[in-house]
Amino acid sequence: MILRPWAYPNRPSKGFTDGARASLPLCLVLVAFGASFGILARANGFGMVAPVVMSLTTFTGASQFAVVSILGGGGGLGAAVAAAALLASRYVPIGLSVAPALHGSLPRRFIQSQMVIDESWAVANRGDGTIDGPALLGAGFALYLSWFAGTVLGVIGGDFIGDPEALGLDAAFPALFLALLVPQMKSAQSRIAAVAGALIAVILVPFTSAGVPVVAASLACLAGWWRK
Amino acid sequence: MPRRLVAKVSDMWLAVILVGAAAIAMKAVGPVAVGGRQLPRRAMLLVGALAPALLAAFVVTSTFATGKTLVVDERALGLAAAAICVACRAPLLAAVVAAAVVTAIARSV
C-alpha cells in the first residue's frame, strides 16, 4: 500500500461514541496514572487544587509528572518548565497530522485540539496517514474525564488504587503503541519511518533530556519522501 | 509564612500556568493554523510517515528508557507478550492486558 491519504477525502468515521468506546481500556489506565499523579503531586507540596487545575489544562501526563518531580526535588522553575515544554513539543507535529480532520470555526478547532493526546491520536489513526476526527474527539474526551477523575481520586487520598507500576500498568503504553504500529507498517515508507524513528529515539535517550528523543524521532517522517 | 515557602508556592503556580499555556499552545498550533484544509500532497506524505515514526519511538522509549538510562527490565517481557498477541491478531485490549499482567507477574517474582 502506498501512502496516498488525499485520494480518500471522505473516509467513513467510527464516530464520537465508538471512539470513546475504543479508548475505554486506556481510560482505566489513565485513571490509575491520574491517581498516582495526584498522590505524587500532593506528596511534593502541590496541595489539592493545583494538581487538578494542571490535569484540566495541561492534560499530558509526562509533562505533569516532570513538573512535580523537578520542583518537588528542589529543582528550579526554569528547569521544570523547560523539561515539561520539551516533553509536550511532540504535540506540534502530532497536531499538524490531526489538523485536516478538525473542521469548523477557529475557536471550535482550538477547543477540539485540546482533546489530542498520544492515546486519542493513536486510537483515531486510520493507519494510512489520516485521522478519524470524531473518533479522536470521543476518545480524547473520555480520556480527559478519566485523567481528571484519576487526579481527583489521587489528591483526596487514592492509595486504594494501588501502585500502577506494581500492577504493570506502565507496560500498557508500549503495548498499545505497538498494537497500533504493526498494522501501519504495510508500505516500505512506513517501515523505514518506524525503524528510523525507533533508532533515533534509542540513540538519543542517554544524551538528551526526556522528551527530545521522541520529538527528534518525528524527523523520521522524511521517509515519506522515500522512493522505491 | 516563611519567605522560602512563599517563593515555592508561587513557583508552583507559575509552573502550572506556564506549562499549561505551553501544552495548550503546542496542541493548538496545527489545528488552528491549517484546520479542516487538506495539506499539500508532499506534506501529506510526511504526515503519513509521522505516525509509524512516532509510534515506534513511543514503543522503544516507554519500554527501554528510565530517565536517561537504557534498561531492559520487566517491561520488555510485557512488550514481548503484547507482540505475541499482535502476531496472533488478538484484539488491542488483549495485547494491553497481556503486557500489564506479564509485567506485574515478572515484578512480583
Would you say residue B4 has pLDDT above 50? Answer: yes
CB contact under 8 A, B53 and A209: no
Cell numbers found for residue B88? 496472533
Q: Which residues of B touch A224 (CB under 8 A)?
A: 45-50
Q: Which residue of A has its CA nearest to B45?
A: A224
CB A139 within 8 A of CB A19: yes
State the burial class of residue B48 (Cβ atoms within 10 Å of its Cβ: 0-12, 13-18, 19+).
buried
Among the partner-chain residues B42, B53, B83, the one whose CB lies closest to the CB of A217 is B53
Cell numbers found for residue A200? 533515533
Question: Can you tell me which residue has the cell 501526563?
Answer: A61
Cell numbers found for residue A87? 516533553
The four Cα atoms B77, B82, B88, B92 give a dihedral, to 10 degrees, of 170
Among the partner-chain residues A96, A125, A175, the one whose CB lies closest to the CB of B99 is A175
CB contact under 8 A, A57 and B23: yes
Strand partners, A40: none
Higher pLDDT, B23 or A76: B23
Among the partner-chain residues B47, B60, B68, the one whose CB lies closest to the CB of A96 is B47
d(CA A116, CA B28): 9
- Say which amino acid occupies A162: G
CB contact under 8 A, B26 and A95: yes
Nearest to A228 by CA among A194, A186, A197, A189: A189
d(CA B98, CA A157): 29
Local confidence pLDDT in tens for the 228 residues of chain A: 334 443 344 567 789 999 999 999 889 989 988 998 998 898 888 999 999 999 999 999 889 998 998 888 888 899 889 889 988 988 998 999 899 999 889 999 999 999 999 999 988 988 777 899 999 999 999 999 999 999 999 999 866 667 788 888 889 889 988 988 998 888 899 999 999 999 999 999 999 887 889 889 989 999 888 875
d(CA A85, CA A132): 27
- State the complex-level ipTM: 0.85
